[in-house]
Amino acid sequence: MPRQAWQGPLEQVDEYRWRIPTSYDRRMRVPGLVFADEKLLQHITQDESLQQVANVAQLPGIVRASLAMPDIHWGYGFPIGGVAATDPDAGGVISPGGVGFDINCGVRCLRTDLTVEEVRPKLRQLIATLFKTIPCGVGMSGDIRFSQKEASRVMVQGAKWAVDQGYGTAADLAHTESQGRLDGADPETVSERAVTRGQGQLGTLGSGNHFLEVQVVETIFDARAAAVFGVGVGQVVLMIHSGSRGFGYQICDDHLGMMERAMSRYGITVPDRQLACTPVTSEEGQRYLGAIRCAANFAWANRQCLMHLARQVFERVFEKSWERLGMTLLYDVAHNIAKFEQHRVNGSQKTVCVHRKGATRAFPPGHADLPEDYRAIGQPVIIPGDMGRNSYLLVGTARAMEETFGTVCHGAGRMMSRAQAVRQASGRSIERELEQQGIIVMGRGRKGIAEEQPEAYKDVNDVVHVVHEAGIATRVARMRPLGAIKG
């Protein structure tokens, strides 16, 4: 990971907002806006992520600002934690670098009626059974498969396909962003190679920062919202973090080259080839949109299948049906996505293409896209931390709609490269260290767990502090980990 420290200007707007002015680079069409405090900036300024914010500000058709969430760190093209909206009517572009390789990587949170006192005696058995049941790690495949003929239905129907196969209920769809399906998915834009890679990957966790984590609610900040979500102190919840796996990766790879070759045809130049893009309305832009919607739908089907497998494990360990255990889906949010949404730009409502790269939606109370039972309090926002500290449940705000296109961060954000984390873990057992804290972690290999050690990440408590104080989401509950499985 590059470690070239930021040398450019950074103007303080207030305690939690910082601006990169357009005067930094005459090619910038809009300023950069970074959400952070001085403590987080000490880390943020040590890599090239702020330069990436400035680079994104040069994209054709970008509106308002190139945004950076407090978990920002260096990524491919866009920084991870980067957000940008483009106006298709003004030559706005779409860029695979603004979505990422793991299209619709996302998190879902399940509530349960179990208490920590009920789970603690069976925790090791529970984590071991989850690890045995749910395939995790690089290249791992599972038992939930689909034929080449069935592939189009998965790509078009998303989570509904999984529910129709018996992997969940219609109620799950109501609490999934976009009901677990984006319209406009076009299987004709997806290569055979992508389909082949995806055939054994439904119901699989993957590797890297993906996880399934058993948590306990330790603090309630907003009693009204917590009551609506059905969570309380001492209650056990489950978080699942995964995406479109090799299927989405292949789609991104296929379309990156196509866009890079096409840019000159549209007279587009970018400061970094990783920002390859074409106009939203172009043939290449439309094909990419059709393909990433397929990948997004695949990811929602994957998380739906993962939840089904987790419910089965809880049934076996606690000898009750998942319904009797109260294992209902609280919400599922997408990261790594480009979506068309209505937002106010320069005083009028516009349909813009919102790129969220390692960032998650945070719509306010009253928004029509929210489930009816959550509409009065706002969209659930799920921000997981590392496997040794905390995770948070929040709600979106009207201020987020005004400033960030209804967006907040998606996690704590890496502070070390994977190679650095492995070096720092040399001679240590991360599993043993976590177990001494009462956290049971199982993974496919020691290297993967070393890469994901808590010290590799910013403290999510610091990140959420900025989010909450800046007013772009407000805290509802804080959870701490009991156990996790990792790839």
CA distance 109 to 114: 14
**293: phi then psi, degrees, rounded to nearest 5:** -70, -35
The yes-or-no answer on residue 468 being catalytic is no
Maximum pairwise Cα distance, the chain = 65
Q: What angle do CA 99, 346, 272 make, to 5 degrees?
A: 35
Per-residue three-class SS string for 179-192 = HHCCCCCCHHHCCH
Q: Which of 175, 410, 465, 468 is catalytic?
A: 410
What pLDDT, on the 0 to 100 scale, is given for residue 3?
A: 59
> pLDDT truncated to tens, each residue of the chain (487 aa)?
445 889 999 999 999 999 999 999 999 999 999 999 999 999 999 999 999 999 999 999 999 999 999 999 999 999 999 999 999 999 999 999 999 999 999 999 999 999 999 999 999 999 999 999 999 877 667 788 888 889 999 999 999 999 999 999 999 999 999 999 999 999 999 999 999 999 989 999 988 889 999 999 999 999 999 999 999 999 999 999 999 999 999 999 999 999 999 999 999 999 999 999 999 999 999 999 999 999 999 999 999 999 999 999 999 999 999 999 999 999 999 999 999 999 999 999 999 999 999 999 999 999 999 999 999 999 999 999 999 999 999 999 999 999 999 999 999 999 888 899 989 888 889 999 999 999 999 998 788 899 999 899 999 999 999 999 999 999 999 999 999 999 7
The sign of the CA dihedral 69, 72, 74, 80 is negative
Residue 147: exposed, middle, or buried by beta-carbon count in 10 A (0-12, 13-18, 19+)? Answer: exposed
Q: What is the DSSP string of 6-33?
A: --S--EEEETTEEEE-GGG-TT-SS-EE
Total-model pTM:
0.96
> How far is Cα 374 from Cα 380, in angstroms, rounded to an integer?
8
pLDDT at 136: 86
> Encoding tokens for residue 15?
């305690």
Q: Report the pLDDT value the prediction gives residue 94, as an integer from 0 to 100.
A: 98
Q: In the prediction, which pLDDT does 444 show?
A: 82
With tokens 């034929």, the residue in question is: 147
Bridge partners of 354? 85, 339
